Structures are given as C-alpha cells and as structure tokens.
Amino acid sequence: MTYVVTDNCIRCKYTDCVEVCPVDCFYEGENMLVIHPDECIDCGVCEPECPAEAIKPDTEPGLDKWLQLNADFAEKWPNITIKRDAPSDAKDMDGVEGKLEKFFSTEPGAGD
C-alpha cells in the first residue's frame, strides 16, 4: 500500500503534508503535489494533515489513475519538504468538481 494525492489537491496545494513526511516523498507541480509511491513508507501521517482531504490510501477503490499520475509526475517534478502558504484561492477551490480536466498542469513547481 501507498498513499496517493487525488484531484482535490489541484489548485488547493496545501503543503501541511510535506512537513510531517518522514521520508520526503512529496513532489511539487505547478498547482498540486504528488507522492512517489516507491518512496512512501505507508505511515499515513500525511493523510490527516491535508485540509482538502486529497490524500488517500491506494487501497480505496477507483484510485488506479491517481496512483499512476502520482508515479509519473513524481519522476518529473522537484522534491518538496518545506511547508509554504497555500494559494490565495485554495479555500474557494476546495471541493470543486472536475479539477483534473479543468485545471491540472503538467508544469513543475519550485521544489525546495
């Protein structure tokens, strides 16, 4: 098992999770984070830290595409280990439907 970041992170991009990760397995895109599934130790400390509830165990049904997206972009985006301020519109974007299709960016974030 591993944890995956799902669509509600898109344009919310809270970084509370990266601060508690003991193995630094988060990677930063322009408008979301992903978890490297081969680096995640399944400790679960990140899940309750996400204000947007965007982190899920990969054992939940229907998360195969998110596991693949996390794996793919963790190889391309820079590592992030430091908490930063969320985007100014993060609360407004929390819970918006169809974020992957409407807002997802393949561009990398700044990283550390």
CA distance linking residue 14 with residue 61, whole number of Å: 24
Percent helix, percent strand, percent coil in the chain, to nearest 5? 30, 15, 60
Question: Could you give the domains of the chain?
Answer: 1-84 (3.30.70.20)
Q: Taking all residues of the chain, what is their mean pLDDT, rounded to a whole number?
A: 97
How confident is the model over 62-82, as pLDDT tens digits? 999 999 999 999 999 999 999
Of 5, 101, 84, 99, the closest CA to residue 46 belongs to: 5
What predicted TM-score, i.e. pTM, was given to this entire model?
Answer: 0.95
